[in-house]
Structure 1
Amino acid sequence: MNKATIYILVLFFFIVSCEKSKVLPDPPIIVVPDDTTVVLPKYFHENTWIYEQMRLQYLWADDMPDEKSTDKNLEPVEYFYSLLRKDVDRYSYASSDYQEILDYWNGQLESYGFRYKKVRVDGEFGLAVSLVLKNSPAELGGLKRGDLIVAIDGEPLNPENAERLLERKGASFLIKNDEEYRLSLAKRKFQVDPLQFAEIIPWQGKKVGYLVYTQFLFEYEERTRALFQYFKDQQIDEMIIDLRFNPGGVTPNAEVMASLLGPDLGSSVELFHGTGNTYSQQQSILRGESPVGRRYFTNETSNLSHLSRLFVLTSKSTASSSELVINCLRPYRAVYTVGGYTYGKNLISTIIYDETGRYSFGLMPAWATLINAHDQSTYGKDGLIPDFPILEDEWPYMPLGDTTETLLRKALYAISPGESKKEFKKIEVLDGFHHWDTGKGFLGNKRYNP
């Protein structure tokens, strides 16, 4: 039985974790007398497979219940949750369809392609569109950042029905701005381009690089390097990276991003380190390796080594690899966060599924700790604290890159004070997230929902 593992926010353990191609044992053979009938639990084989995977990979495997005491009649996803250490683990999740997990981490989740804030404008509940992804059904259909959705398929929205209505494959949205109009959209899979928006902003005699980066995905390193080379050639004076919508992603891309944003350190300086569970540490020692896995900066000729500081726009949806970039750059560069608290995922996760095709479910358990070069990793409970806190409670939401946009303006004023003459209406923001438009939370699971 082979398992395939795709590392999220990880790959720094791709040397330490040689278990990824391990052939796992078949379920035990039960020998009974010929005249005895044995009825196995309904999901015996599936859940035996899950338990073995978790024993090998789960960060808190030592705290799992004894296998004999577990209920293998539970459906596989429910069985997975029964194994978790719930007092500390708010990150691990599973899906009945592993392809949904793979699609998301490849930037191909089926959706409309927008994110939203839950708000009340003049007392009326609505979904304030905060991001419209490039080439998405939402963008192609005419939805814009700053649109306020107040009804779906004729049903007025409220905090209780919004997610249920967003689960539909297609719908008619009532938009209320200066005037009301309807917009019909249908979900589909499309490729996310994480380089959402970039430009150089002239500000108080300085050139400020600004990049909205929405997800850490494979195969975008070269385009990212080219963009940073442009910033470098233009001799920008300051850099703002907008990670308020970014839930994380694959570590190699995050390592490149951190190396581009940081000083010129070469490839022998540690970016971060961490450890897996007791079993994985023991296996490393048996191979003559350190039980502590380490990852290093990458050589990047386009890095912004001439800068002395970095500003990062954040929200409760800033998670995982995004937090890695912030926390792991801080030993080497002044990094200031602007906006809200981040999600608080200071752990590494891994994807596990059965590539033989017998089982359709996928698992994504917490896998290893994540610690910067100064041994700092204290943001797991509440997230990283913003250095310049500000709510996204000014209406209307201005286009990304507009110098009057709430978070960008706050960062620009931290660079050099200014004065905005634009007047905004204050609105009530119900939480700190930029929610997914799927209606199902993050990958259909609201336990871990950046």
Structure 2
Amino acid sequence: MKLKFLLSVMFMLAVLSSCRDKSVDPATESQTNDWIYANMKYWYYWTDHIPAKPDLTQDPAKFFESLLYKYDATTRPDGDRFSWIQESADELQASLGGESKTPGMEYKLVYYPSNTTNVIGIVLYVIPDSPAAKAGFVRGDVFSSVNGQKLTGANYSQLLNTQDSKTYTLAKIDNVGGLVEGSTREVAPVVLQEDPVFFDTTFTYGANKIGYIVYHQFIPQPYQTENGQYDKKLDNIFATFKSSNVNALIIDLRYNPGGYVSSATNFSSLITKGTANDVFYYKEYNAQVTETSKKKYGESYFYDKFLSKSQNIGSNLSQVYFLVSSRTASASELMINGLKPYMEVKLVGSKTVGKNVGSVTLTGKDQGIKWGMQPIVSKSLNKNHKSDYSTGFVPDYPASEGTMLYPYGNPKDPLLGEALFQITGTRIARQAREAAVLKEEDAQEITSTIVRKAGGSNMFFK
């Protein structure tokens, strides 16, 4: 069995592996359910709530669901919102490593105008050299029809939730809020590896030298490699920030659904005012895992400390600003929570998801099990043993990006513009922010493709 700890998507603690015999016959549903039950009984954070005699005759997906201590706002506010299972363990592990079959663009879907059933897609970002990029898509593009059919609340899932080649009809929102359709672009999905370190730049406003970085997922390296490529890329960016005397920092996590805690630890170690002797975060497990792990590994199993990084700029920072949204989750929130005891942390945007729990990747390929599951196994706490963000972090400075999206690094972006204004107090940043806010359109968001990246939910939902 190969095991990876993650923070709801992903918090990595260790990897336990055994030999895989590719000749092993596929397991029956009964064998798969036995495997699911045994692992859930040991690992699941709410193991005391698992039914004593579950129905083992169900298909694996339904059986897994039957074991969960499901969240309910009234009766189970402490319940599980994030555990999931996938029929292909290979696809699960690849997606957690940033590899997936995709046209190469992430987008959100909104009702536009909000009092209608008409739906439009707004491109959030495009992966470089992807089919979408080669077709000419950029951040902020709007599409209103797919394969010749206008998107509506009744058909968007059917039209978009496939891996087939699609033809998108571009549209523009005119000055009075109307929609004007234009040209079409055809895009086919391919298997892509996404580099999460997406964009960085610096701004200079008087004595303020501000570093800005866009980070889409906590991934240390490309899937099935061990070279630390993406962590090293962050290190190099911060080395440049340091040599440029950056004294203020904006980290854009608005589309970041989580990632490996090893990368969250590395990233936080580049920013913190703490040292390598200081605890970044603690992990709380069920009684059985706690007892077993304490005997085998000792107390150090239950916390991670910061790393010693020569590229650290913490001593030059008075504050760090995070750009966040309803798509900001798990390892992103862990980073925010973990840094709070050591420095002043400010949030700009909208309320985050509230994933203060960690999951583990479980596979049983050596037993012929094709399924992979990602059950919640732990709760995350900072140095002060605080974990009070289960309903999400509320931003210090609310801001919404609206329907008119600007390129990364453009101060007209409402979130970036607000952070720049809070740091500098200059009218330049403030005016840009206000101009952007005035252009926000009346639209009601339905969902986004970031949900698919985060795992545990269908790509589209109503």
TM class, shorter-chain normalised? 0.7 to 0.9
Q: Secondary structure at the match of 2:199?
A: strand
In the alignment, is the contact (CA less than 8 A) between 1:282 and 1:291 conserved in 2? Answer: no
Please name the residue that 1:206 is paired with.
Answer: 208
* Inter-CA distance 427–304: structure 2 relative to 1 (3 Å threshold): same
Report the Cα offset of residue 378 of structure 1. Answer: 1.1
Q: Percent identity?
A: 28
Report the aligned-residue RMSD: 2.5
Question: 1:130-166 CA distances to partner (integer Å, 9 max, x unpaired)?
Answer: 2212232222221111111101001111233223211
Q: Tell me the TM-score normalized by structure 1.
A: 0.87
Question: 1:330-362 CA distances to partner (integer Å, 9 max, x unpaired)?
Answer: 000111010011111001111001131612111
Please name the residue that 1:43 is paired with.
Answer: 29
Please name the residue that 2:168 is paired with.
Answer: 173
* Inter-CA distance 101–59: structure 2 relative to 1 (3 Å threshold): same
The one-letter code of the counterpart of 2:389 is: Y
Report the Cα offset of residue 117 of structure 1. Answer: 2.5
In the alignment, is the contact (CA less than 8 A) between 1:197 and 1:211 conserved in 2? Answer: yes
Please name the residue that 2:458 is paired with.
Answer: 446
Please name the residue that 1:383 is paired with.
Answer: 392
Please name the residue that 1:411 is paired with.
Answer: 419
Q: Tell me the TM-score normalized by structure 2.
A: 0.85
In the alignment, is the contact (CA less than 8 A) between 1:442 and 1:448 conserved in 2? Answer: no
Question: Within 2, Cα distance between the matches of 1:447 and 1:279?
Answer: 34
* Inter-CA distance 337–255: structure 2 relative to 1 (3 Å threshold): same
Please name the residue that 2:64 is paired with.
Answer: 80
The one-letter code of the counterpart of 1:388 is: Y
Question: 1:309-341 CA distances to partner (integer Å, 9 max, x unpaired)?
Answer: 100000111111110110100000111010011
- 1:26-425 mapped onto 2 (5 Å cutoff): 43-66=29-52, 69-87=53-71, 88-121=79-112, 125-168=119-162, 169-177=164-172, 180-218=182-220, 219=228, 220-263=230-273, 265-287=274-296, 289-290=298-299, 293-305=302-314, 306-356=316-366, 358-380=368-390, 382-393=391-402, 395-417=403-425, 418=427, 419-420=430-431, 422=435, 424-425=438-439
In the alignment, is the contact (CA less than 8 A) between 1:315 and 1:432 conserved in 2? Answer: no
| Structure 1 gap ranges (5+) | 24-41
* Inter-CA distance 416–357: structure 2 relative to 1 (3 Å threshold): same
The one-letter code of the counterpart of 1:43 is: E
In the alignment, is the contact (CA less than 8 A) between 2:276 and 2:305 conserved in 1? Answer: yes
Question: 1:48-76 CA distances to partner (integer Å, 9 max, x unpaired)?
Answer: 1110011111111111001xx21111111
Kindly tell me the number of residue pairs found equivalent between the two proteins.
419
The one-letter code of the counterpart of 1:44 is: S
Q: Secondary structure at the match of 1:200?
A: strand
In the alignment, is the contact (CA less than 8 A) between 1:340 and 1:432 conserved in 2? Answer: no
Q: Secondary structure at the match of 1:160?
A: coil
Report the Cα offset of residue 291 of structure 1. Answer: 9.0
* Inter-CA distance 406–71: structure 2 relative to 1 (3 Å threshold): same
Question: Within 2, Cα distance between the matches of 1:159 and 1:386?
Answer: 30
* More displaced 10-residue stretch of structure 1: 353-362 or 267-276: 353-362
Question: Within 2, Cα distance between the matches of 1:267 and 1:96?
Answer: 40
The one-letter code of the counterpart of 1:197 is: F
* Inter-CA distance 444–269: structure 2 relative to 1 (3 Å threshold): closer
The one-letter code of the counterpart of 1:173 is: Y
In the alignment, is the contact (CA less than 8 A) between 2:112 and 2:444 conserved in 1? Answer: no
Report the Cα offset of residue 120 of structure 1. Answer: 4.3
Q: Secondary structure at the match of 1:426?
A: coil
